[in-house]
Chain A
C-alpha cells in the first residue's frame, strides 16, 4: 500500500491511470453495441489498420502521426460497418481480410524501409502496447479527456437511437430513423477510440477492451441499460486494477489489463450460471 501511495505521487502514474480509465470507459460503452451487432472483431481489425498506418507514417517520417492514422482508420471503419449488411464479402470475412492484410503490409513496410536498429522491439511495442502510456504529456492527457467526454456525451444523447438501430435496423429504417447516419456515427466513434487505445494495450489486445466488459455484463444483466452501465463500470475497474497491478508488479500494462478483464469475465460467467439456475 505504501508503495502504491509512493507511486501515486509521480505525475506519470496519475496520467496513465486517468487515460487508461477514460479509454476503458469509452470502449466498453460501444462494446455492447458491437458485440450485439456481431462486430466483436472490428476492434482487432481496425487496430491492425491503425498499425499499418503507423508504419507508413513512420516511413514517411511524419511529425504528427495522428494526421495519417486517424483518417485511415475512420475510413476503414466506415467501409467495414457500412458493407456489413449486403456486401459480396460478409462482415466477419471482410474484417479478417483487412485485419491480416494491414498487419502484413505494416510489418513489410517497416521491415523494408525502417532505419531503426531495434525493429523487432518497435513492432512488438506497437502490437502489445508500448510504454508510452507511462510517458504521456499533460497535453495528451487533456486531448484524451476531451475526446472521452465527447464520446460519452454522444453515447448518452443517442442512447435510444443506438439501441433501436442495434436491435432491429430494418424496423428502425422503415419507421423513419436515419440508420445510415447512426451507423456512420458508430463507425467514426469506434475508430477514434481504437486509435486512442492503441497506446494503452497495443494493436493485438484492443478487442479485449471492447468485448470483455460487454460480455461480462451480458452474463449478469437482462436489460440493455443495465448491461451498458455494468459494462462501463466493470471496464473502468478492470483498467484501474490492471494499471495498478502492472505498476506494482512490473508487468506489461496492456496484457495485465486484459488478464484482469478475462478474470472478471470468468467470475461473471459463473455468477450468471448460478443466477440462471435460481433466478429464471
Chain B
C-alpha cells in the first residue's frame, strides 16, 4: 500500500472551493511535484496533507506504517522566523518535538539525531550561529534538517527554492534529489516547471484540469505540454 492515498479531494477556505477532484498516491521512493497556476490551491493541498486543514470532501489515507504525524515539512518562511533569535542547533532539535510526547526535555538519542541531520545537510559548522544571520540557502538547509528529524519516510516541501539564487537553487535540488535516492519520498510544490519535470518521478497538476501520473505521461499529455509551453513563454517575455 502507498504511504499517502488521496481520493477525490475538494479543497478550499471556509465554504469557498478552490480545487476539486484531486486523486493521487505517494509510495515509498516517489518524487512527486505539485504544479499549477497561482491560486490553484497548491498550498491548501499541502496543508490538508499535513492535517492542518480538513478537506471539504474526499479523504486522505495513510498506509504502509506511516503515522499521521510522521511527515516532515519544509514550510515557506514566515515573517516571524526572519528575525528569530535562535541558533541552528535549537531549531533543528525542535524537529524532534513530535517524538517527545509529554517528556519535557530532549534525550541523548534525539540530540544525536539532530547532529546527524545537520551533518547530512552540511551545516554542522553553523550549529551555533543565529538563524537570522544565515543566508537564504543556509536557512533552508537548517529547516530541512529539522524536517528530517521529524521523519524518515515522507518530506513535504513548499517552494523550497523560492528566493534563492541559481547556484544555491541547483544545490538545493541536488540535496533533495540525494534524500530521495536514500529512500525518502518527496512531495514538492514548485513554480519551477523545468525543475519539476527534470527531477520528479510523478507530477500532480491541479487547476481547472487535474492530472496525476508519471512524468513521462505528463510530458506527453495535452495539459502538460501546454502548461510547460505557457510557463516558458511567460518566462521569456518577463
Q: Interface residues, chain A, CB within 8 Å of chain B? A: 36-38, 156-161, 163-164, 166-168, 170-177, 218, 221-225, 227, 280
- Per the bound structure, the CA–CA distance linking A161 and B104 in Å amounts to 8
Q: Does B146 contact A (CB under 8 A)?
A: yes
Contacts of A164 in B (CB 8 A): 94, 97
The minimal Cβ–Cβ distance linking B9 to chain A, given in whole angstroms, is 17
**In the bound complex, do residue B85 and residue A160 qualify as a contact, i.e. CB atoms below 8 Å apart?**
no
- Per the bound structure, the CA–CA distance linking A173 and B69 in Å amounts to 8
Contacts of A163 in B (CB 8 A): 86, 90, 94
- Of the candidates A167, A172, A173, the one whose C-beta lies within 8 Å of that of B86 is A167
Contacts of A172 in B (CB 8 A): 94, 97-98
**In the bound complex, do residue A222 and residue B98 qualify as a contact, i.e. CB atoms below 8 Å apart?**
no
- Of the candidates B51, B71, B84, B150, the one whose C-beta lies within 8 Å of that of A167 is B84
**In the bound complex, do residue B97 and residue A161 qualify as a contact, i.e. CB atoms below 8 Å apart?**
yes
- Per the bound structure, the CA–CA distance linking A172 and B149 in Å amounts to 12
Contacts of A161 in B (CB 8 A): 97, 100, 104
Q: Which residue of chain A has the shortest Cβ distance to B91 in the bound complex?
A: A167
B residues 80-102 near A (Cβ < 8 Å) are 80-81, 84-87, 89-91, 93-95, 97-98, 100
The minimal Cβ–Cβ distance linking B93 to chain A, given in whole angstroms, is 8
Q: Which residue of chain B has the shortest Cβ distance to A86 in the bound complex?
A: B13
- Per the bound structure, the CA–CA distance linking A179 and B86 in Å amounts to 19
- Per the bound structure, the CA–CA distance linking A174 and B74 in Å amounts to 11
- Per the bound structure, the CA–CA distance linking A158 and B97 in Å amounts to 11
Contact with A along B22-61 (1 / 0, CB 8 A): 0000000000000000000000000100111000000000
Query: Which of A36, A168, A172, A224 has the most chain B CB within a 10 Å cutoff?
Result: A168
The minimal Cβ–Cβ distance linking A162 to chain B, given in whole angstroms, is 10
The minimal Cβ–Cβ distance linking B85 to chain A, given in whole angstroms, is 5
**In the bound complex, do residue B95 and residue A223 qualify as a contact, i.e. CB atoms below 8 Å apart?**
no
**In the bound complex, do residue B104 and residue A174 qualify as a contact, i.e. CB atoms below 8 Å apart?**
no
- Of the candidates A156, A175, A280, the one whose C-beta lies within 8 Å of that of B97 is A175
Contacts of A222 in B (CB 8 A): 85, 87, 129-130, 133
Q: Contacts A163-B86, A170-B50 known; A223 to B128 CB distance under 8 Å?
A: yes
The minimal Cβ–Cβ distance linking A29 to chain B, given in whole angstroms, is 15
Q: Does B72 contact A (CB under 8 A)?
A: yes
Name 24 interchain pairs, CB-CB below 8 A, sorted by A: A36-B84, A36-B85, A156-B104, A160-B94, A160-B100, A163-B90, A164-B94, A164-B97, A168-B75, A168-B78, A170-B75, A172-B97, A173-B50, A174-B71, A174-B73, A175-B95, A175-B98, A177-B98, A222-B129, A222-B130, A223-B86, A223-B128, A224-B86, A280-B133
**In the bound complex, do residue B104 and residue A168 qualify as a contact, i.e. CB atoms below 8 Å apart?**
no
**In the bound complex, do residue B85 and residue A223 qualify as a contact, i.e. CB atoms below 8 Å apart?**
yes
- Of the candidates A176, A225, A280, the one whose C-beta lies within 8 Å of that of B90 is A225
Contacts of B89 in A (CB 8 A): 223
- Per the bound structure, the CA–CA distance linking A172 and B81 in Å amounts to 14
The minimal Cβ–Cβ distance linking A257 to chain B, given in whole angstroms, is 24
**In the bound complex, do residue B97 and residue A160 qualify as a contact, i.e. CB atoms below 8 Å apart?**
yes
Contacts of B130 in A (CB 8 A): 222-223
**In the bound complex, do residue B85 and residue A224 qualify as a contact, i.e. CB atoms below 8 Å apart?**
yes
Q: Which residue of chain A has the shortest Cβ distance to B105 in the bound complex?
A: A160
Contacts of B91 in A (CB 8 A): 167
**In the bound complex, do residue A175 and residue B87 qualify as a contact, i.e. CB atoms below 8 Å apart?**
no
B residues 125-176 near A (Cβ < 8 Å) are 128-130, 133, 146-147, 150-151
Contacts of A38 in B (CB 8 A): 79-80
**In the bound complex, do residue B86 and residue A160 qualify as a contact, i.e. CB atoms below 8 Å apart?**
no
Contacts of B80 in A (CB 8 A): 36-38, 166-167
The minimal Cβ–Cβ distance linking A114 to chain B, given in whole angstroms, is 43
- Per the bound structure, the CA–CA distance linking A237 and B50 in Å amounts to 44
**In the bound complex, do residue A177 and residue B52 qualify as a contact, i.e. CB atoms below 8 Å apart?**
no
- Per the bound structure, the CA–CA distance linking A171 and B77 in Å amounts to 11
Q: Which residue of chain B has the shortest Cβ distance to A219 in the bound complex?
A: B85
Q: Contacts A158-B104, A168-B75 known; A227 to B85 CB distance under 8 Å?
A: yes
**In the bound complex, do residue B50 and residue A167 qualify as a contact, i.e. CB atoms below 8 Å apart?**
no
**In the bound complex, do residue B73 and residue A170 qualify as a contact, i.e. CB atoms below 8 Å apart?**
yes
